[in-house]
């Protein structure tokens, strides 16, 4: 059963906007990831509710305009302006939908990430006013699709889109980045879910 949630949180950071990326077709998963069930709730609902703990506004970006009737009306849903371009196009569309200075970008295949991660990213960026973004780093791997960016990075994302460069890391390499390394016990929160086995494992870890 879907929990009661009205799309808002009193604890949200006033100037933070969350961009939820749902543009992937889920070919390896065999289903759309955002609709996968987690404890009786669609993953997208669960993720948006979690993000509302830090973001004052939420925008879901899809490959084509979709209706998610289970989301509160306060959650905006928009479509990519450039089809079949991947996350870069989704980030551009999502960031452009809000003038807030902080943009929390999260792909819908991070089922275990939550408020602890969002707050840590915000706290880290606050310590580095010169930085354009803070990216989680686990095992030497950066996670640009579960990261906090300043709105000024939209120009860099747009330049990548206009230049036909689909590589997310190519865009972030042009930014001033700081990394956030979670403590050992929090590394599961950055699990990336792409296959049915990943889905099974994510549900198992969620029960722990």
Establish if 19 belongs to a structural domain: yes
Q: How is residue 63 written in tokens?
A: 């490959």
Neighbours of 194 (CB within 10 A): 14
pLDDT for res 5: 44
Establish if 180 belongs to a structural domain: yes
Q: Are residues 86 and 101 in contact, defined by beta-carbon separation less than 8 angstroms?
A: no
Establish if 3 belongs to a structural domain: no
Query: Does 4 score more than 70 pLDDT?
Result: no
User: What is the rounded distance in angstroms from the CA atom of residue 163 to the CA atom of residue 175?
Assistant: 16
Which CATH number does the domain housing residue 117 bear?
3.90.550.10
Domain that holds residue 56: 13-207
Annotated binding residue 63: no
Using N-to-C axis directions, what is the helix angle for 154-162 and 87-96, rounded to 10°? Answer: 140
Confidence of residue 94 (pLDDT cuts 50, 70, 90): very high
Establish if 203 belongs to a structural domain: yes
Annotated binding residue 22: yes
Per residue in 27-77, pLDDT (tens digit) is: 788 788 999 999 899 999 999 999 999 999 999 999 887 889 999 989 999
Annotated binding residue 132: no
Query: Does 26 score more than 60 pLDDT?
Result: yes
Lowest-pLDDT range, 6-15, 44-53, 152-161? 6-15
Contact residues for 173 (Cβ-Cβ < 8 A; gap 6+): none
Q: How is residue 133 written in tokens?
A: 């973004």
Query: Does 186 score more than 80 pLDDT?
Result: no
pLDDT for res 185: 60
pLDDT for res 9: 55
160: closest CA among 87, 107, 100? 87
- Residue 10's Cβ-count burial label (10 Å; 0-12, 13-18, 19+) is exposed
Annotated binding residue 146: no
User: What is the rounded distance in angstroms from the CA atom of residue 55 to the CA atom of residue 51?
Assistant: 6
Mean pLDDT, residues 3-8: 52
Establish if 55 belongs to a structural domain: yes
In total, how many domains does the chain have?
1
User: What is the rounded distance in angstroms from the CA atom of residue 177 to the CA atom of residue 43?
Assistant: 29
Establish if 106 belongs to a structural domain: yes
pLDDT for res 12: 67
Establish if 2 belongs to a structural domain: no
61: closest CA among 40, 42, 44? 44
User: What is the rounded distance in angstroms from the CA atom of residue 135 to the CA atom of residue 121?
Assistant: 8
Provide the terminal-to-terminal Cα distance of the chain, rounded to the nearest Å: 20
Establish if 117 belongs to a structural domain: yes
Average pLDDT in the chain = 89
Annotated binding residue 21: yes
């Amino acid at each position: 059963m879907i929990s009661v949630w009205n799309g808002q949180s009193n604890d949200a950071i006033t100037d933070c906007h969350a961009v939820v990326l749902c543009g992937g077709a889920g070919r390896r998963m065999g289903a759309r990831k955002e609709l996968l069930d987690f404890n009786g709730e669609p993953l997208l609902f669960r993720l948006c509710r979690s993000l509302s703990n830090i973001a004052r506004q939420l925008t879901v970006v899809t490959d084509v305009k979709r209706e998610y009737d289970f989301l509160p009306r306060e959650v905006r849903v928009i479509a990519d302006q450039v089809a079949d371009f991947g996350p870069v196009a989704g980030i551009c569309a999502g960031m452009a939908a809000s003038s807030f200075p902080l943009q929390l970008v999260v792909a819908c295949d991070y089922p275990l990430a939550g408020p602890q991660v969002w707050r840590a990213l915000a706290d880290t960026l606050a310590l580095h006013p010169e930085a354009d973004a803070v990216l989680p780093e686990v095992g030497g791997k950066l996670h640009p699709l579960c990261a906090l960016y300043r709105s000024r990075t939209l120009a860099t994302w747009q330049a990548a889109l206009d230049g036909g460069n689909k590589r997310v890391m190519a865009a972030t390499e042009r930014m001033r980045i700081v990394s956030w390394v979670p403590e050992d016990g929090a590394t599961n929160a950055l699990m990336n879910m792409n296959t049915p086995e990943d889905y099974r494992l994510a549900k198992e870890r969620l029960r722990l």
